[in-house]
Structure 1
Amino acid sequence: MLEWSGFCHCACIAVDAQAYGSKNDRSQSEIQHDLPRLLDRAARGAGLDRARWQIQRKGDEQLAVRPLDGTEPRLVDDYVRHLVAELRRYNAQRVPEARMRLRAVVHQGLVELAENGFAGSAVVATARLLGARQLYDALAAHPDADLVLLLSDDVFRSTVAGGHTTLSTDDFTHVTVQVKEYEAVAWLSVPALGVPAGTSREPGTAEAGRFVAPASGMPAADRLGPAAAAVTEGGTGISNEYRAESINVTNVAGSVDARGAVFGFGSAGG
């Protein structure tokens, strides 16, 4: 386990199991037994070593901190994606009442290893983000989702908006979190569904919950290419323009889990 002295700039990763208090003793014991193993497997799948993280355990909740080392995009992208996959496999073997559903938060800031845990405003902010009403609302609004994710504004801009992940800014919704004395901008997503968790309007930073790209001043979803523009300007709703650069070809061998996917079939000649 990696240790440091004084305050160190760290990534803070927190998860909490939904509706833990309403479960019986055996179900609570099972969650406490299985949650660390799911997190460990997700980290290994993402090429991250949780054995080097400082971890604070609290029943159905975990807060992990680790010094920033340049792998933060992998934490936001690969680790979350593998955790979603681990939860999907885990919950597929259980009745709906026994599912494990997680709220997850990633933040960053100065953290000190103190005598009784972690010290620093970044740790407090992470705890406040984990208690955000928007996370609870997102789980309620998307009953099929096993995990909802909230990124602090700093993390979102330095990883997703910075173009350092495979994620799109359109996958996130801009929200304002208010918990106790804490108030801050954050970015909400339901990773398994690949859609924003909701919409909001905050002047100057987002339109209808979407990130505004600094270079163009327009939401990514509103920047139309030539073919898309032809649809809008022509008024027919159909464009026959062929654009080879817009075609993605995926070759698949073996079985594929495509639940929730939408496929389209066609030929290069139209």
Structure 2
Amino acid sequence: MNPSYEYRALLACDIAGSAGRGQQRLQEIRSALRYALSAALGAAGLDAREFEYTDTGDGCRLVAPTGLPKAGLLVPLLPELGARIREHNGRAGPQTRMRVRVAVHAGEVRIDPDGSVSGTPFEALARLLDSDPLRQAALAGPDGTPVAAILSQHVYEETVGHGYEGLDTGAFTAAEVRVKEYAARAWLWYPGSPVGPPGGTSPDGESGPASGTGERPAPAPARTAEQLVRATGNGTVFAVGRGEQHIRYIERS
């Protein structure tokens, strides 16, 4: 049998700062991440059994089933994952708390007769996950953020750019990614971003902005994240172009 080629949505996760925790603690947080991801998929109306799951040691990689819209890997999945990581951190000790980096991309992948999946989209996914802008975004807030995500330009244009419900253009910050030979624009989602339906909740548990109109928000001007994160006593400052954007970060009691 010959391999087939299919267009699929892709998601990769990486546990920030996993090195140096010891084998036993690493196994605990790996299990906790898989549980949180499976629960978040379920809460988002997705069946984890339909995804191709690959354990990458300190994270994982998901290949979405055929036909799943790319927006399905964003909302409500990202907020749901953030909520479950936060719940885990509330119960865990200092050595088993997590901050998770997420990258989302899509493209045509090769599926071999034995079910293995490969292709150049995975290379871009890995570069996005390893990028400095995403690593810095994961440090946002006094104790870091449960989930910081980065979208490829392709995914951004075909989800946020198309005005899918719950994807506010103002929730994403443009970043230039350069990892090895890979160089591209991408889009960050970080704490305080109003990801979710109008009147919903952010990953920090705070109420999101309610427009009350149900209309697509006006596109926000492109922002860059060349100097990304500076924590303060009251939140996090993101350098955006020639100015700064202050994101309040409120710990839940």
**Please, what TM-score do these two structures have when normalized by structure 1?**
0.68
Tell me what 2:71 maps to.
73
Q: Which has the higher helix share?
A: 1
CA distance in 2, matches of 1:131, 1:125: 10
State the alpha-carbon separation in 2 of the partners of residues 126 and 148 from structure 1.
15
How far, CA to CA, are the matches of 2:169 and 2:66 in structure 1? 22
- Spell out, residue by residue over 1:197-221, the C-alpha distance to the aligned partner (whole angstroms, 9 max, x if none): xxxxxxxx954339xxxxxxxxxxx
Partner of 2:26: 28
* Aligned 1:134-145 pairs, distance under 5 A: 134-142=133-141, 143-145=143-145
1:57 and 1:81, CA in 2 relative to 1: closer, same or farther beyond 3 A?
Answer: same
CA drift of 1:96 comes to 3.6
Number of aligned positions between the proteins: 201
Corresponding residue number in structure 1 for 2:54: 56
Equivalent residue number for residue 193 of structure 1: 192
Please say if residues 13 and 104 of structure 1, whose CA atoms lie closer than 8 Å, have aligned partners that are also in contact: yes
Write the deviation string for residues 142-194 of structure 1: whole angstroms up to 9, x where unpaired.
Answer: 3341110000111111111211131211111111111111111100011x422
Higher relative CO (Cα under 8 Å, sequence separation at least 6) belongs to 2
- Give the match for residue 213 of structure 1: none
Equivalent residue, structure 1, for 2:84: 86
2:174 counterpart of 1:184: no
Q: State the distance in 1 between where 2:109 and 2:40 align.
A: 24
For the residue of structure 2 that corresponds to 1:157, the secondary structure is helix
- Is the contact between residue 171 and residue 193 of structure 2 (CA under 8 Å) also seen in structure 1? yes
SS state at 1:21 partner: coil
Aligned-partner residue type, residue 89 of structure 1? E
Aligned-partner SS, 2:104: strand
- Looking at structure 1, the residues matched to 183 and 33 of structure 2 have their Cα atoms a distance apart, in angstroms, of 29
Match of 1:104 in 2: 102
1:150 aligned partner:
150
Give distance in 1, aligned partners of 2:222 and 2:126: 27
Choose the corresponding residue for 1:209, options 214, 224, 242: 224
Amino acid at match of 1:172: F
Could you list the runs of 5+ residues in structure 2 that have no partner in the other structure?
196-219, 226-248
Task: Specify the alignment match of 2:124 in structure 1.
Answer: 125
What residue in structure 1 maps to residue 9 of structure 2?
11
Cα RMSD after superposing both structures: 2.5
- TM-score if structure 2 supplies the norm length? 0.72
Pair member with larger Rg: 1
Identical positions, percent: 29
Q: SS state of the match for residue 56, structure 1?
A: strand
